[in-house]
């Protein structure tokens, strides 16, 4: 693959989570990703995702190194001498104990950009705490923002927002900024990427409002969290839903006129009128199937869109029109479709070769950093690499 990050080499020590998403997106921008995986006897200590997860590892090569073995640690540091970026997602303190932390790598390569991704950061009272996506959504205030579900429970979103946007994209942005800064200073950087911090950034609209006004944010009280009928979802005649985002007065007027409820226009932001408005809008949408409404309102500036399932998105002509679907060709097995690189500036192709899981690139990658076949054989005989 080629792209904006041609010539940038990334060592990725993670197998799942934000770090893997970050390295996958960096690969889509053209970086060369080297996945540093455990040797087979330690493989059970890490989660092994399905073969097609995380873009199937496109743009990625794999080396297997036992980082607990002194020879394996030294092999990793040899690789790091020629790398631009290291991404790791161990618990805080682990890489330092292994002898592959930022200070260890920096002593061999002062230009390294070293990105540690974790749930709660390298410092602070939660630093050593275990967590997953829902935990970071919880402590950032995200879960408490919207309408409550059954039994008045906070509703869990069906996508890993924290790992992806709070962590993975934050890591990508930080790495790119550090690479740009390195061109000016000649020095790399250490990046402490916390998923919970990234979620705070995503929650800035709500949290800044609390800080500035002191007004509590109750579930559904914010303008974009279900408070108003002009920003909500509605069930259609076929049981499917549409999403309405007609916040601006002109869009709401267009919607009300199209639905035959013009009397609602002047009461758009009146809190006392929201329930009656919702009833009228809901009754109108209930008269036709979802796709009929979407077709009828297309081009009418009403901010109405269909609520699509993942299955529908995969077959959506709009996605195909943006070259959003590519063909993946795994090293073993049949071709299958997958999402193409979707971030702006990432080059898209119609077909991608994916690495195989039964083989590694250990010998080739170690040779590229100057190791002789004899040195690699010694490492393999010792069980330090595979």
**If residue 235 lies in a helix (H) or strand (E), which one and from where to where?**
strand 231-235
| Angle formed at CA 136 by CA 135 and CA 137, multiple of 5 degrees | 90
Residue 109 is encoded by which pair of tokens?
């390569």
Q: Give the single-character DSSP code of 65.
A: B
As annotated, the active-site residues are 132, 163
Residue 347 is encoded by which pair of tokens?
């080059």
Tell me the H-state helices in 227-301: 249-259, 274-285, 290-297
Residues 170, 198 contacting (CB under 8 angstroms): yes
Dihedral angle over CA of 365, 366, 372, 376, nearest 10: -120
Please give the sequence-ordered ranges of beta strands (E in DSSP) within 126-188, or none if there are none: none
Which neighbouring-strand residues pair with 233?
243
Q: Choose among 87, 96, 136: nearest CA to 116.
A: 87
């Amino acid at each position: 693959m080629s792209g904006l990050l041609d010539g940038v080499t990334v060592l990725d020590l993670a197998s799942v989570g934000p770090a893997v998403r970050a390295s996958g997106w960096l690969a889509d921008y053209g970086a060369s990703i080297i996945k540093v995986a455990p040797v087979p006897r330690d493989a059970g200590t890490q989660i092994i995702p399905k073969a097609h997860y995380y873009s199937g590892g496109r743009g990625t090569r794999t080396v297997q190194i036992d980082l607990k073995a002194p020879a394996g640690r030294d092999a990793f540091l040899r690789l790091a001498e020629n790398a631009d970026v290291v991404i790791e997602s161990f618990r805080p303190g682990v890489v330092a104990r292994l002898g592959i932390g930022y200070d260890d790598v920096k002593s061999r390569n002062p230009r390294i950009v070293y990105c540690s991704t974790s749930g709660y950061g390298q410092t602070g009272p939660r630093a050593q705490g275990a967590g997953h996506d829902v935990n970071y959504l919880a402590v950032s205030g995200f879960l408490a923002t919207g309408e409550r579900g059954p039994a008045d429970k906070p509703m869990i979103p069906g996508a890993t927002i924290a790992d992806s946007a709070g962590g993975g994209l934050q890591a990508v942005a930080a790495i790119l900024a550090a690479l740009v800064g390195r061109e000016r200073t000649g020095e790399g950087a250490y990046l402490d990427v916390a998923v919970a911090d990234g979620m705070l950034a995503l929650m800035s609209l709500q949290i800044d409002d609390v800080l500035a006004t002191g007004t509590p944010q109750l579930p559904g009280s914010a303008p974009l969290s279900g408070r108003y009928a002009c920003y909500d979802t509605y069930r259609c005649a076929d049981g499917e839903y549409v999403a309405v985002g007609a916040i601006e007065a002109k869009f709401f007027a267009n919607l009300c006129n199209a639905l035959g409820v013009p009397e609602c226009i002047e009461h758009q932001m009146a809190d006392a009128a929201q329930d009656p408005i919702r009833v009228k809008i809901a009754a109108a949408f209930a008269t036709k199937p979802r796709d009929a409404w979407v077709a009828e309102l297309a081009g009418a500036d009403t901010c109405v869109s269909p609520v699509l399932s993942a299955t529908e998105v995969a077959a959506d002509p709009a996605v195909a029109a943006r070259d959003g679907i590519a063909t993946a060709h795994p090293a073993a097995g049949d071709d299958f479709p997958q999402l193409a690189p979707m971030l702006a500036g990432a080059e898209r192709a119609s077909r991608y070769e994916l690495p195989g899981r039964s083989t590694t690139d250990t010998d080739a990658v170690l040779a590229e950093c100057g190791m002789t076949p004899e040195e690699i054989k010694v490492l393999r005989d010792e069980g330090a690499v595979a």
